[in-house]
Amino acid sequence: MADARPLVVDGASLTVDGLVHAARDAAVRLEIDPEAMERVAAGRREIEEAVAGYEAAVAAGDPHPPAEYGITTGFGSFKVVGLPPGELADLQRRLLLSHCVGLGETADRDDRTNYFPADVVRAALLIRLNAFLSGHSGVRPVLVETLAAMLRAGVAPLVPLHGSLGASGDLAPLAHLFGVLVGEGSFEIAGSAGRHPAADLPEVLGGQPPALAHKEGLALINGTSVSAAVLALALHDAERLVDVADRAAALTVEALAGAARAFDPAVHEARPHPGQLASAAAIRELLAGSRLVDGRAQVQDPYSVRCAPQVHGASRDALAHVRRVVEIELNASTDNPLFFPGRTGWDHEFAANWPAGYDGDRRIAFSAGNFHGQPLALAADFAAIAAAELGSIAERRTQLLLDPDHNGGLPRNLVPLGGLNSGAMVAHYAAAGLVSDAKSLAHPASVDSIPTSANIEDHVSMSANAARKLRAVLRRVEAVLAVELLVAAQGVEWRTFRRTAGGAPLGQAASWEHRREEQQAFARHVAAPAGIADALGGGTRRVYRAVRAVTPPLVDDRPLDAELAALRALVSSWPAGVG
């Protein structure tokens, strides 16, 4: 059920949480702030006046009519080409058509995986709408209302994954997003199966979308909205993954009967990074009441356990920085040119330097570079590194639990009858492969740039690539955490069994008969999970039960792929917070 409160968009107050809610729940009620619509109308009047002035100058035979980029001229390297007044409106339609050049992973246009997920598309649509409400883009109020109607109707155009350089905005993806307004492409509707041709859009919206007017095609595609959408949704998911990582680490501490002093508040107050403090506090809360922690009386654990708050906390702090960047971007005007009604440009300080024929006094458009995605590209790369590290340290904890030389007397690979059974050995292999893949994907996209448009666009950000890579890293880290949870749950079962077995190392009996007896005893032990859960901390008890709700203890080898998929679904849907 959607939240009863509407999401009011005003060009200045959109948050990551509000965006994610609206992007992932098409039933969210959307309202536009009336004052914001007044700004839109005021900004549009400047466009109309500029076009009227241009048309009058051309009609009067002026050899140098007042040109405004993308309104009375072509685009990119065609910026010097002034156009006949009768072609100016059609220019905007042609712009969208020419920029629909996106590509998927394969040549199969019917393969849904070649396109951005619907939540990304809805988020990009909402970000673009919100940007227009600042009043600096020069679009008509009717276009803003059309975008709002698309969101309210659950419309999500099919947008190919590849094609953006993250400068001049996300040109190709946004052209596909808004191509349906000019009859190009297809779209999906939230809550219904299949796709619809662009020709069906008037029926869905209850009327024909308005034909694009001066500057509107450029305003629709010349922004960072797709990069920002992918990054914002991925950020939301990454922030939750840190909480899951804390849960997994705490359950591993229980399985190892780990040393509690590493999590003491005094330790972390002595190095008070906010993220470190938060993760340490979360792990303490999860472990509170445990009857296993400190059960081995060792001084300290390996780094992957002892330093979990420091590593997870650093990722928290990195993501907090990314959130600041994203929430600025969600409420920014990122197209070009921009309009500031009534404002004289700073360039007028240099009017004495203007060459003959350059009539700066007649220019109203501010041509600049807010479409450059560098802030998003760097933030997405930083987030990808932060997320990859969560997977990296989780894989190390997983290996630690499976290693009898370091797991405090538990059996190799946490399975009875080792040798006949392989246990969680190859589940760890899968985690290791995923971690390696995530490390490769964490290589920054933002350090690359390929000049385009006759070298006018000579430095680009690759922000869309960076944001997509972040999303891919998160999917891998989800799976790695699922493996740690699987192994840690098995570990706490062996730890509690070891207490009942008199504390002797497990899985080391000389005779096969004794190993069979140990297996049977372990099977009886895990058949009564309440006693196991009662030995855990209040928070880790909830984590353990959540894991065991989707995957039973491992007494004999069996396929684990379906259970790991179920655990991965748990990881991806687990609410934020402790426990």
Q: Could you count the other beta carbons within 10 Å of the beta carbon of residue 559? A: 7
Phi, psi of 78 (to 5 degrees): -95, 15
Q: With helix as H, strand as E and coil as C, how does 272-320 read?
A: CCHHHHHHHHHHHHHHCCCCCCCCCCCCCCCHHHHCHHHHHHHHHHHHH
Sign of CA pseudo-dihedral 278, 282, 288, 291? negative
Neighbouring residues of 353: CB distance < 8 A, sequence distance ≥ 6: none
The H or E element that residue 8 is part of is strand 7-9
Residue 166 DSSP one-character state: S
Residue found under tokens 């009857």: 291
Q: In whole angstroms, how far apart are CA 432 and each of 78, 154, 324, 427? A: 50, 40, 32, 9
Single out the residue of 269, 293, 270 nearest to residue 283, CA to CA.
Answer: 293
In single-letter form, the type of residue at position 90 comes to D
Check: CB of residue 542 under 8 Å from CB of residue 254.
Answer: no
Neighbouring residues of 565: CB distance < 8 A, sequence distance ≥ 6: none
Q: Which tokens belong to 74?
A: 């072509």
Single out the residue of 231, 332, 321 nearest to residue 14, CA to CA.
Answer: 332
Q: Is 477 exposed, middle or buried (0-12, 13-18, 19+ CB in 10 A)?
A: buried
Residue found under tokens 């570079």: 369
User: How far is residue 403's CA from residue 405's CA, in Å, rounded to a whole number?
Assistant: 5
Check: CB of residue 421 under 8 Å from CB of residue 415.
Answer: yes
Sign of CA pseudo-dihedral 352, 356, 362, 367? negative
Neighbouring residues of 281: CB distance < 8 A, sequence distance ≥ 6: 265, 268
- Which residues are known catalytic residues? 69
Q: Which tokens belong to 152?
A: 């309210």
Q: Which tokens belong to 212?
A: 């694009």
